[in-house]
């Protein structure tokens, strides 16, 4: 499910830039200059072929030709109007061939002619989209709709709630009676990355729920996108059982999957290190599946928005949106430095925003890992770093 959401997010971020680049590439400086005159669209006749070359691709073969055409109208000397332009066709063009039409300014023949279909030209001049553009927009719209339905039906087929048995498998399980004491953060270890030769275990900085028991405390590491203090504030003081299954083939410091089942039949999924008896409370053996198997449900909905983490990153998205508005408004349509700056801001703003959000989240988790579980103090420190 997370993979589908990631694909959808990347798609939604990239499509506006693709459409923007497509729009700007079609709205060329030549088009902008011609439309400043008393322009005209008419059928033209090829009088001379300057040069032509064949473009072979998987989509087929096209011929790009630079030609001189005769268009309706007269030049300043009263002669037939001859204009130069570029045409793309599926077959070789020939002298005397009539083309469907082109856009030109009769009073400024030096500007040349833009040869394209009337439907495409109408869309460039503010009219309805051409058939090809409608197909492209339909495909762009169909992709997120398809992802939505895949996610919807996948969620329905995989909607069974987690249980200690489904999470821990066949390994001997243990359980510990705990009470939620607060939110914190820390680093947990997993198996080494096979792509690296160092052999060192992977270390992940993640939020965690601090769990207290008569034997001591344990941390249940949860998803990185969650705010542990907000979640702990909702669940503060609630009691339940923490289930995990040590893996005899791995060091006790490496974390394993765990499930916290509260007394109100809600659960929180995460990981916890099995540890040693002298370091962490080991609880008691647990027989799975549970004899009194009850219908469990996940804790939720989760508070994902964290102003101190996400707020500064929104400035990057705002900058990108402002840049797109300026480009659409036609700022520096001739291709000057201001247009280049807008393009850089449109692409770089959201990227910088995401990097800033990631950085602020890391700072937030590091402060939680090294200080007391005080939400106001933590956020104040995040907003005013030393």
- Supply the pLDDT for residue 11: 75
Percent of the chain, pLDDT > 90? 27
**Residues sharing a CB contact under 8 Å with residue 201, sequence separation 6 or more, in sequence order:** 189, 190, 191, 192, 251, 253, 254
> Which is nearest to 99 in space by CA: 80, 108, 81, 86?
86
Contact between 367 and 382 under an 8 Å Cβ cutoff? The reply is yes
- Supply the pLDDT for residue 187: 93
CA–CA separation, 101 and 334 (whole Å): 25
Contact between 114 and 102 under an 8 Å Cβ cutoff? The reply is yes
- Which tens digit of pLDDT belongs to each residue from 58-105? 777 888 888 998 888 888 788 888 888 888 888 888 888 888 778 888
CA–CA separation, 165 and 292 (whole Å): 13
> Pairing mode, if any, of strands 98-104 and 113-115?
antiparallel
Q: What's the average model confidence in pLDDT over 132-161?
A: 73
CA 32 to chain centroid: 33
Helix, strand, coil percentages for the chain (3-state, nearest 5): 35, 30, 35
CA 6 to chain centroid: 6
Between the CA of residue 59 and those of 56, 66, 90, what are the distances in Å?
Answer: 8, 22, 11
- Which tens digit of pLDDT belongs to each residue from 183-212? 999 999 988 877 777 778 889 999 999 999
* pLDDT, averaged across the chain: 82
- Which tens digit of pLDDT belongs to each residue from 253-301? 999 999 999 999 999 999 999 988 778 999 999 888 776 667 888 888 7
Q: What's the average model confidence in pLDDT over 35-48?
A: 86
CB atoms within 10 A of CB 133: 18
């Amino acid at each position: 499910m997370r993979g589908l959401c990631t694909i959808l997010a990347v798609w939604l971020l990239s499509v506006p830039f693709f459409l923007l680049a497509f729009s700007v590439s079609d709205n060329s400086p030549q088009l902008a200059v011609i439309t400043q005159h008393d322009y005209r669209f008419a059928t033209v006749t090829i009088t001379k072929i300057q040069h032509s070359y064949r473009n072979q691709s998987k989509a087929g073969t096209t011929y790009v030709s630079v030609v001189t055409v005769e268009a309706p109208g007269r030049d300043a000397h009263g002669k037939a109007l001859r204009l130069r332009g570029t045409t793309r066709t599926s077959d070789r063009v020939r002298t005397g061939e009539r083309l469907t039409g082109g856009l030109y300014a009769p009073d400024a023949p030096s500007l040349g002619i833009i040869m394209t279909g009337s439907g495409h030209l109408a869309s460039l001049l503010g009219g309805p989209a051409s058939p090809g553009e409608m197909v492209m927009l339909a495909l762009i719209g169909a992709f997120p709709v398809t992802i939505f339905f895949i996610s919807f039906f996948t969620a329905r087929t995989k909607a069974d709630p987690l249980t200690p048995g489904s999470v821990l498998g066949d390994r001997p399980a243990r359980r510990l009676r705990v009470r939620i004491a607060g939110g914190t953060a820390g680093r947990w270890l997993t198996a080494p990355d096979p792509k690296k030769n160092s052999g060192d275990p992977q270390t992940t900085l993640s939020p965690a729920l601090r769990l207290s028991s008569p034997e001591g405390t344990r941390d249940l590491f949860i998803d990185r996108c969650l705010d542990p203090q907000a979640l702990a504030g909702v669940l503060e003081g609630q009691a339940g059982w923490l289930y995990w299954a040590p893996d005899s083939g791995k060091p006790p410091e490496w974390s394993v999957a765990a499930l916290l089942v509260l007394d109100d039949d809600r659960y929180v999924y995460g990981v916890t290190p099995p540890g040693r008896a002298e370091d962490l409370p080991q609880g008691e053996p647990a027989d799975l599946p549970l004899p009194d198997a009850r219908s469990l449900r996940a804790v939720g909905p989760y508070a994902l928005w964290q102003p101190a983490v996400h707020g500064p990153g929104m400035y990057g998205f705002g900058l990108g949106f402002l840049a797109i508005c300026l480009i659409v408004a036609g700022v520096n349509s001739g291709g000057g430095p201001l247009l280049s700056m807008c393009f850089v801001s449109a692409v770089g703003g959201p990227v910088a925003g995401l990097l800033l959000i990631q950085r602020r989240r890391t700072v937030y988790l590091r402060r939680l890992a090294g200080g007391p579980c005080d939400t106001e103090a933590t956020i104040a420190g995040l907003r005013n770093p030393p």
